[in-house]
Amino acid sequence: MNSRQPNRSGGANRYSSLIVWTTVAVIVILIIVAILYFSSANREVKPPSGKSRGTVISSEPRKELPEMKNKPQPRYASFRGCPPEGDGGDPELNRNKNRIDEGDYIPVEFDAILGLSWPRDIERRDHKNWPAQARREIGKYEGIPVAVEGYLFGAKQSGPESCNCHGADKEFRDYHVWLVKTQGDDRTKSIVTEVTPSLREKHPNWELKNLNKIARQKQKVRISGWLMFDPEHPDQINKTRGTIWEIHPIMMIEVEEDGKWVNIDDLNFRKRGGNA
């Protein structure tokens, strides 16, 4: 007696094919989600134009730095082919240096930054090698939008750096701007503030000759920007700087004229007195 047996192999093949195609579909979906996520996380925006400005909050300078639970999220942009993380060194530090977003800057006293401490065990160490506790301590204040009053000791073009892809030309160099509390102070008591290439391109008045003219004329200034910790130069404390906390990058420079703060973007330096 003949009896027809069910075709089990055909069902098994269809089931196997279903598993394969389901797996492929899941992998494709995961790849698409990953691409969209990283594209969103690293989306670049253009640096703000000179006409697009942050604001300084109207208040007396604080004696202590505020604690901000929700700091503004940094934004970045490549500059002439150089990505925000640069071409080597500490990528996280380089991104911090290359942020471009404006903020509402909180007036703080000069000594609030000059006297700010840090864990000594992270000096000269890349961010990826920082202990968790040190990250928390630095993260408590790094990334606060601050505005600090003082006087310019001077300004100088830096050498090639990894944050600017070691560009040799002038347009790839940072400007180091030394901010001091009083007119008689030297760099040993200064806060280093830095003008970055991508932002300087949007602010034609941020040139060395203009910054050094302000320094020579001993005009009071207010520097606004992002508080940043730079672990690379502890050996320069009490030599060319007073701290390794910096305002980096500078987002706005103002001078005091007739009791009011004037953005130097609005000044005509050709008509101003003093040597260029």
Nearest to 199 by CA among 71, 86, 53, 56: 53
Range 51-72 average pLDDT: 91
Assigned token pair, 61: 């300078």
Q: Residue 23 CB: number of other CB atoms within 10 A?
A: 10
Q: Which residues contact 180 (CB under 8 A, 6 or more apart)?
A: 150, 151, 152, 153, 186, 187, 189, 190, 191
Q: What's the pLDDT score for residue 44?
A: 42
Range 23-29 average pLDDT: 76
Q: How far apart are CA 34 and CA 59, in angstroms?
A: 44
Q: How far apart are CA 109 and CA 80, in angstroms?
A: 36
Q: What's the pLDDT score for residue 43?
A: 40
Q: What's the pLDDT score for residue 49?
A: 53
Q: How far apart are CA 100 and CA 249, in angstroms?
A: 8
Q: Identify the structural domains of the chain with CATH numbers, from first to last.
A: 55-266 (2.40.50.140)
> pLDDT tens digit string along 187-208?
999 999 999 999 999 999 999 9
174, 158 contact by CB (below 8 A):
yes
* Beta strand extents in the chain (DSSP E only): 55-56, 104-107, 145-157, 175-180, 191-195, 220-229, 245-257, 260-263
Q: What's the pLDDT score for residue 47?
A: 52
Q: How far is CA 266 from the centre of its chain?
A: 24
264, 53 contact by CB (below 8 A):
no
Q: What's the pLDDT score for residue 42?
A: 41
> pLDDT tens digit string along 105-163?
999 999 999 999 999 999 999 999 999 999 999 999 999 999 999 999 999 999 999 99
> pLDDT tens digit string along 72-88?
999 999 999 999 999 99
Range 30-52 average pLDDT: 52
Q: How far apart are CA 51 and CA 151, in angstroms?
A: 24
In the block, residue with structure tokens 């301590």 = 137
Q: Which residues contact 27 (CB under 8 A, 6 or more apart)?
A: none
pLDDT band at 38 (very low <50, low <70, confident <90, very high): very low
pLDDT band at 231 (very low <50, low <70, confident <90, very high): very high
Q: What's the pLDDT score for residue 168?
A: 94
